[in-house]
């Protein structure tokens, strides 16, 4: 009598996963983007990193509020 492991991989979902990833890559290429090139040289990445500020008063946030905002 053979015992089958509950978490054993059977490969059933792999084909679907490969198709999903392939279709995402093709969609990016058709939209004119190269998904494997990172945008490190873009203007957004050259922006100065600073503490978040209150939009009304301009005062920088402090303490745990900074971590909460960065996490969001």
Whether 66 and 52 have beta carbons less than 8 Å apart is answered as: yes
pLDDT attached to residue 52: 83
CA separation (Å) from 20 to 16, 35, 55?
6, 15, 41
What pTM was estimated for this model as a whole?
Answer: 0.38
Q: Which residues contact 66 (CB under 8 A, 6 or more apart)?
A: 51, 52
With cut-offs at 50, 70 and 90, classify the pLDDT of residue 26. very high
Any alpha helices (H) in the chain, and if so which ranges? 14-30, 64-71
Q: Once rounded to an integer, what is the mean pLDDT over residues 24-40?
A: 82
pLDDT reading at 56 higher than 70: yes
């Amino acid at each position: 009598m053979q015992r089958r492991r509950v978490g054993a991989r059977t490969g059933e979902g792999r084909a679907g996963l490969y198709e999903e990833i392939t279709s995402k890559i093709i969609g990016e290429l058709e939209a004119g983007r190269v998904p494997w090139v990172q945008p490190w040289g873009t203007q957004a990445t050259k922006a100065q990193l600073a503490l978040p500020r209150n939009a009304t008063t301009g005062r920088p946030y402090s303490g745990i509020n900074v971590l909460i905002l960065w996490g969001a």
